[in-house]
Structure 1
């Protein structure tokens, strides 16, 4: 593999000015132009000079700074160092950086002697995985035993220099750090914070803490070293919640240890990796790591105030890593390229720990390298022939908006088989535009893979199928917003809502959508999303109240609203008002409370909310505050104070601050700020609408507050009324049908009576029954074996209503103990089989095979049992062995809709339609086992093709 240089920015046609000729006014004009684009209004006179703070005064966040760097390089024909984005705070800083920058066409590198030239990956295939390992340390130890010198990490030091780290090197240096931590009196179970950028030090420190049996607590480093003091103060709440004993950080933070101890009494040491490496203390006996030990704490709040530390054990992490690897067919032949921060779950677990487990080489660079030049990400994928990479939606949008075509010449993305898109709302438009833009460079549409996950489930929860294009459903806006129903929209509907399919639950995991009563909703109905599975957190660290709120029985709440189609997840919004901004969570109530304390801001009259930014593809933070100040010279200092406060609390400024007159912000009747209404007013540009009379405002507030509640109550009432009606209907019809079947003399007549009762029940229940493939039904008295998927207790009733000719069911022998079931099923000619007595089961199977050829068709549900979660499970062989032995054809039948109407372990029926698809007969190719297996596979494939549910038996295993 050739060492391909980074593509260079497009050359300007005009001559480049000499570096010394760059004037301050040129830099100020460049910054003013960008600031006015961001604000969408001109700057106030005197607001911009060489000492103006880019973040506090102008509101520049990291993405805006990255844009400023790119424009500076193009305008002044220079190549700025990567760290410039983290160092410039004022226009004077940028001017100085430009004056000392290298000419265009060169890259600044670290020049460290530890770096080495990039080389091709020829590592060989690893056929086995550490499947018996029970801890992360055990995973690393297994790899060291199997292939100690195999590289695991390739860490970019700068744009074109990289450091290689093998499994053995990672283990040895981590163990040395563990010994040093023990010397610092770090005991098993103690929390150790890591505040480091993406670097070798981070990886050694993380596993060093694990080898000491302590708990790593990753926290994000400051964007600029000059902000370390404020940064540490912001993180005091997280460190106090974790009761961290020690923090590993950069050397510049060590002088602030006394300040931090005042904020966090539990911390006794602030140290660096160099200090820890210098220890030669022998390793102490700390016992054997346990799978239920806490592997690390993932704090979900990036702000102070109410941090939540998600507790993740080794069991949780390994279950998640193995499940994701199985679904995506992870292999040591893959190559993963990542710029994701390693203090966040997507970068830490999804990229690093997942790659480490599956022996995948991970090429990782700092987020600053990506933000300063997004093309570096794509060229790293090209250079290393990467097959896997992941990013939030804004990253794909950044590549679309910030990379010129001239910077892509020679780019090859054809090896990129999975491009995960997650961590923030996924935009259908971004996916389509990225695919179209980079398709000529080898990017395949099916590589784009929207996923869903959350820290409470380690990282991943739902993944789409491997070989498909992204699924985007267009649904009618009015039924969704009013009733929460995802009705398919017509292609020409201009008001349709586009929602992205985020795949199916990982193996061993389940999701469900519930209504306000906690009842599970059927497909295409919106509600609260809950989940459970082996990756689920044990709760929030040292916070029992929030842990209790997290659980709903044995399910965990996500705070998200969603619906499903055929078991696939579609998100519609967040129940909680968390703002996701560039992958970070911001809790608006904390920011609002702080802004309300500022002078000249009306108490309780501030709203913070997210608004989608079409330019960046991410959510922007908007702060709306009421004030009686009206003059521009009064408003600008007020905005500056608000932005300074946002910077102090969140580490980045707001994207937009709006000061509005009193009574602009809508509230509920109880005085709570209605953030969604604020967002609508802002996006519809109606904040300046004239104020209505008090009685008009009151009526509007009452209407606005009452409408959602009335719709919700109406929806619940209709659902409850329907369920009650259906049970009453069943109570009337069931005795009539049971008595008729019991007294009728022959099986065909009894079948006709039962079928009439089933069709009557469905008709009176308003359930539409759709039947496809009637021509494939067997002729009267033609022997065959009918197999169908099993989704609900309604399956048998639906089959009877759809099939005009008499058939015989195969049922479990336990039903014989119930006299009502025994009499009813026996009169229908049911064959009973033993499930638990092996010898009797074999005899039953032989008996059924013998009778299959001589009597009416047999109806068998080869899945054997019910599952509440959508998906087609493995088929048992009994039906197919019987068919092969008797030489009978198999008739596959696909039943749809019954799971949504009545799920397993539920007594709450829902509205909905039912469909049955009769596929063509499949004739056995012989009488032996292989013929039966072939029958099973053909029948199952046919049912899977029609059922619109995931394959839960043939989930791909590791290659």
Structure 2
């Protein structure tokens, strides 16, 4: 075996580490003041970028210079500091005048990470230089090998050293069996040490593990075998590892998978012994294949690399503010991505303590989950919505006496639709056992994004949107209802895209839709899969250019994602979008209906060539009178909730409704069962459905087509208006004398263009801006159209502060200079200070400017960090600073798009602010006050958290 990776960042263990930490403390402290909500600042290291990662612009470096010189008691070369790229560059500067004492940082690190010590990020979190899962294991085994990686119910503690030793033994056995790097190894094992040894052993051998789930019950063994055979054949698995009891049964699979050489037990692999030859692993190597739940006809194995997984884990770590001090309690099965990736791989990355239960223990005794959190002082745990519903509705009070959930700070709820009723019931019931309601954290993810994609702000708690059901169904618009009641629908926010990821809503043609418009959810980011294993057809259907299709429907409001259902499950009747989950949930509440045993789906009627709406509901009732009552209640509910009756109601025995391994309804499989004639029901006359579709659907379809055509016509008109007015206005700006007259022309052209396109903005608070006294405006930046909007709305005495890069365009350079714009360098720190000073002198001379303190814009919503230039100028020139909030421009013309979308625009000016001085704290107070004013009106997330 090759030598292990070094157990710590060399910067913290080499001679001079104490001085490194000293300097990093100064830089981190300053960055923390600039971005108080940015959790990642504390984890940034000696080689991270001062500008990009720490967020220190040229003006912040001036303060950094003061602090370094004060702390070190020496003078530092100012030009060299301004040119420094990383804290390591700063360290070289300080060492020219200062020689720090050498401390034994390695010994301190080992002591902090010893068995029994409290876990901390400094001692238990691997460095970001680790690029693969095996590197994470190596680091933990070397740094604190005796520390428990996981406490497993029934098996005790599994230490990092035992995990690595067992995995290497499996790897040696696989090599002796003839497996080579890239071969696939399937494992069908329960939660326990063997699963981890085989899974990670496959990685050490260079193989690709494929987790499979064991059969849930014997009554569905045939269906399970067919599904497993399809996965094994698609993965071309060479070996299947399972428990001894299942080995004889699984031999039946060999006939369906030509590549399958052997079916072994974990002990049968390690018996071969031997050493593992050195096998290099890269970040872009496939870590494992995650097969998605669904039908067996076309199994889809999501390809996930080490880079995908680590990017996702780091993003979730930031979003949830997870730390090594946390304790993650999980009963989720290890063949499920939320259990395997989120909990088990998350522990390797972050270093938190992992406590694992068997899924069967939870299902048999749901209270055992809560008591495990109580005993281990768990802070993190995750489960699908059904688990929270089970605990909220089914547990007896005597089973909970003495329970303490006060340490539970993040209760992830995902993997299936999240019910607002469930989270409210669970929070209310367990509040008296110490649970903080803000712990409930609805999240959204999918295997194609490794596991996580959208998380709400940490500690915020759930957010529920109440919308008009009819408007969503008929027009695809998520608007507030006129009044609460039957006509309203409640949906739970899944939060914001994970850091570094983007989400958009698109129509079937791939065009991005504005906020609060129902459409297809698409995403992109470093966690995204490259496609499905050995399935080019499915892979081709996954991508929409650079975006990946989730297969889910939803909308975005205030930057947060709201799911309405799976695209394949949505029922379109008479031009309306119907979402089966709401009706299924309501039917499940009826007396006599088995909870969770309801499926609503559309099905083809061969006799009428139309689509029927079918309800499949499980019940134990056998008396015909009771069954008639259930059917009548279901019929009434359907009319109340979706505004129309269903075509067929079928009552079936328990365990008839098909589900996936993780408990999700398999509506497509239920539909296939119905259409094959294996579920019998009484058909209704088809002419009623045909008449309803013809009468009520025709008008809605025509309206939608007209709206789509109208959007294209408006876009053409908008570009025509721009072309007609841009060129004449630009020529007048070039030839007319004086900045004032040129700006009046630009303002008039912008106002006329907005009026002709119907985009005249709603304004507020601009009346006092006509005064001649100099002032500085700071505005949020969302789109190229921000400049046009502000040019039209503001008095002509205001001009813009622009980035130097715009001067690279000859045409723009001429126009901007003729309008008297100021230019600021963003990347050369020393030049940036000089440019800001030049703007300050112009303000002192009586000019007024508009700054975009974010410095740039992006397509996804969110207010970014503010640079300090505008606030320095306002403070030193003693002029008022006015925060201005722009809304609507991001949807009008998003970054990366050139086709505009019509929507309302607003310009709102806040109250002028005056700096209390020109020192560092006064600048920060002025910046924070302006940013808070804009943030409060913007209704977009805070992109710095």
The reply to whether TM is greater than 0.5 is: yes
Q: Deviations over 1:639-679 (max 9, x none)?
A: 9999999879989999999999xxx99xxxxxx99xxxx9x
Displacement, 1:564?
Answer: 0.9
Q: Deviations over 1:344-373 (max 9, x none)?
A: 111111111112211111111111111112
2: CA distance, partners of 1:752 / 1:179: 78
Q: 1:241 aligns with which of 234, 257, 262?
A: 234
Q: 2:165 aligns with which of 172, 176, 185?
A: 172
Alignment correspondent of 2:598: 620
Q: 2:119 aligns with which of 105, 121, 124?
A: 124
Displacement, 1:290?
Answer: 1.0
Displacement, 1:473?
Answer: 1.1
Q: 1:788 aligns with which of 771, 779, 795?
A: 779
2: CA distance, partners of 1:658 / 1:190: 31
Residues 653, 789 of structure 1: CA spacing in aligned structure 2 closer, same or farther, 3 A cutoff? closer
TM-score, normalized by length of structure 2? Answer: 0.75
1: CA distance, partners of 2:227 / 2:770: 76
Q: Deviations over 1:120-167 (max 9, x none)?
A: 98643242433111000001111112211111211112xxxx611111
Q: Equivalent residue of 1:760, what SS?
A: helix
Alignment correspondent of 2:460: 468
Q: Deviations over 1:54-91 (max 9, x none)?
A: xxxxxxxxxxxxxxxxxxxxxxxxxxxxxxxxxxxxxx
The 8 Å contact of residues 784 and 853 in structure 1, kept in 2 or not, is answered as no
Instruction: Answer yes or no: is 1:138 the counterpart of 2:135.
Output: yes
1: CA distance, partners of 2:490 / 2:169: 52
Instruction: Answer yes or no: is 1:559 the counterpart of 2:551.
Output: yes
Alignment correspondent of 1:115: none
Residues 922, 820 of structure 1: CA spacing in aligned structure 2 closer, same or farther, 3 A cutoff? same
Q: 2:151 aligns with which of 129, 150, 154?
A: 154
Displacement, 1:326?
Answer: 1.1
Q: Equivalent residue of 2:773, what SS?
A: coil
2: CA distance, partners of 1:609 / 1:268: 47
Note the 1:13-28 alignment, pairs <5 A.
none
1: CA distance, partners of 2:194 / 2:555: 43
Residues 521, 318 of structure 1: CA spacing in aligned structure 2 closer, same or farther, 3 A cutoff? same
Residues 641, 774 of structure 1: CA spacing in aligned structure 2 closer, same or farther, 3 A cutoff? closer
Residues 544, 578 of structure 1: CA spacing in aligned structure 2 closer, same or farther, 3 A cutoff? farther
Displacement, 1:885?
Answer: 3.8
The 8 Å contact of residues 242 and 263 in structure 2, kept in 1 or not, is answered as yes
Alignment correspondent of 1:408: 400
Instruction: Answer yes or no: is 1:755 the counterpart of 2:741.
Output: no
2: CA distance, partners of 1:215 / 1:658: 29
Q: Deviations over 1:464-515 (max 9, x none)?
A: 1113231111122232222211222245354022222111111111111112
Alignment correspondent of 1:844: 835
Instruction: Answer yes or no: is 1:802 the counterpart of 2:775.
Output: no
The 8 Å contact of residues 123 and 150 in structure 1, kept in 2 or not, is answered as no
Q: Equivalent residue of 1:529, what SS?
A: strand
The 8 Å contact of residues 414 and 442 in structure 1, kept in 2 or not, is answered as yes
Note the 1:366-765 alignment, pairs <5 A.
366-492=358-484, 494-577=486-569, 611-612=584-585, 614-615=588-589, 618=596, 620-621=598-599, 691=685, 693=687, 698-702=690-694, 709-735=701-727, 737-738=729-730, 741-742=733-734, 745-765=737-757
Q: Deviations over 1:875-919 (max 9, x none)?
A: 333333333443444322221111011111212111211222322
The 8 Å contact of residues 239 and 264 in structure 1, kept in 2 or not, is answered as yes
Q: Deviations over 1:405-438 (max 9, x none)?
A: 2222221111111111111111111111111111
2: CA distance, partners of 1:648 / 1:445: 30
2: CA distance, partners of 1:218 / 1:272: 14
Alignment correspondent of 2:302: 310
Residues 568, 204 of structure 1: CA spacing in aligned structure 2 closer, same or farther, 3 A cutoff? same
Q: 1:866 aligns with which of 857, 877, 880?
A: 857
2: CA distance, partners of 1:225 / 1:792: 58
Residues 689, 188 of structure 1: CA spacing in aligned structure 2 closer, same or farther, 3 A cutoff? closer
Alignment correspondent of 2:316: 324
Q: 2:869 aligns with which of 878, 888, 891?
A: 878
Alignment correspondent of 2:290: 298
Alignment correspondent of 2:892: 901
Residues 546, 690 of structure 1: CA spacing in aligned structure 2 closer, same or farther, 3 A cutoff? closer
Residues 225, 247 of structure 1: CA spacing in aligned structure 2 closer, same or farther, 3 A cutoff? farther
Residues 206, 743 of structure 1: CA spacing in aligned structure 2 closer, same or farther, 3 A cutoff? same
Matched positions, count: 774
2: CA distance, partners of 1:609 / 1:487: 18
Q: Equivalent residue of 1:186, what SS?
A: coil
Instruction: Answer yes or no: is 1:212 the counterpart of 2:185.
Output: no
1: CA distance, partners of 2:254 / 2:412: 41
Alignment correspondent of 1:94: none
1: CA distance, partners of 2:126 / 2:935: 30
1: CA distance, partners of 2:885 / 2:596: 41
Q: 1:825 aligns with which of 808, 816, 829?
A: 816
Which deviates more from structure 2 when the two are superposed, residues 488-497 or residues 642-651? Answer: 642-651
Q: Equivalent residue of 2:569, what SS?
A: coil
Q: Equivalent residue of 2:720, what SS?
A: helix
Which deviates more from structure 2 when the two are superposed, residues 235-244 or residues 566-575? Answer: 566-575
The 8 Å contact of residues 228 and 253 in structure 1, kept in 2 or not, is answered as no
Q: 2:913 aligns with which of 903, 907, 922?
A: 922
1: CA distance, partners of 2:772 / 2:936: 28
Q: Equivalent residue of 1:502, what SS?
A: strand
The 8 Å contact of residues 644 and 653 in structure 1, kept in 2 or not, is answered as no
TM-score, normalized by length of structure 1? Answer: 0.74
The 8 Å contact of residues 620 and 655 in structure 1, kept in 2 or not, is answered as no
Alignment correspondent of 1:181: 174
The 8 Å contact of residues 231 and 651 in structure 1, kept in 2 or not, is answered as no
The 8 Å contact of residues 776 and 848 in structure 2, kept in 1 or not, is answered as yes
Alignment correspondent of 1:913: 904
1: CA distance, partners of 2:581 / 2:729: 61
1: CA distance, partners of 2:365 / 2:274: 43
Q: Equivalent residue of 1:611, what SS?
A: helix
Alignment correspondent of 1:353: 345
2: CA distance, partners of 1:725 / 1:890: 37
Residues 875, 648 of structure 1: CA spacing in aligned structure 2 closer, same or farther, 3 A cutoff? closer
The 8 Å contact of residues 895 and 947 in structure 1, kept in 2 or not, is answered as yes
Aligned-residue RMSD, C-alpha: 3.7
The 8 Å contact of residues 597 and 654 in structure 2, kept in 1 or not, is answered as no
Displacement, 1:727?
Answer: 2.0
Residues 659, 535 of structure 1: CA spacing in aligned structure 2 closer, same or farther, 3 A cutoff? closer
The 8 Å contact of residues 622 and 657 in structure 1, kept in 2 or not, is answered as no
Q: Equivalent residue of 2:914, what SS?
A: coil
The 8 Å contact of residues 303 and 650 in structure 1, kept in 2 or not, is answered as no
Displacement, 1:837?
Answer: 6.0
Unpaired stretches in structure 1, ≥5 consecutive residues: 1-119, 580-606, 666-671
1: CA distance, partners of 2:379 / 2:892: 41
Note the 1:67-78 alignment, pairs <5 A.
none
Displacement, 1:449?
Answer: 0.9
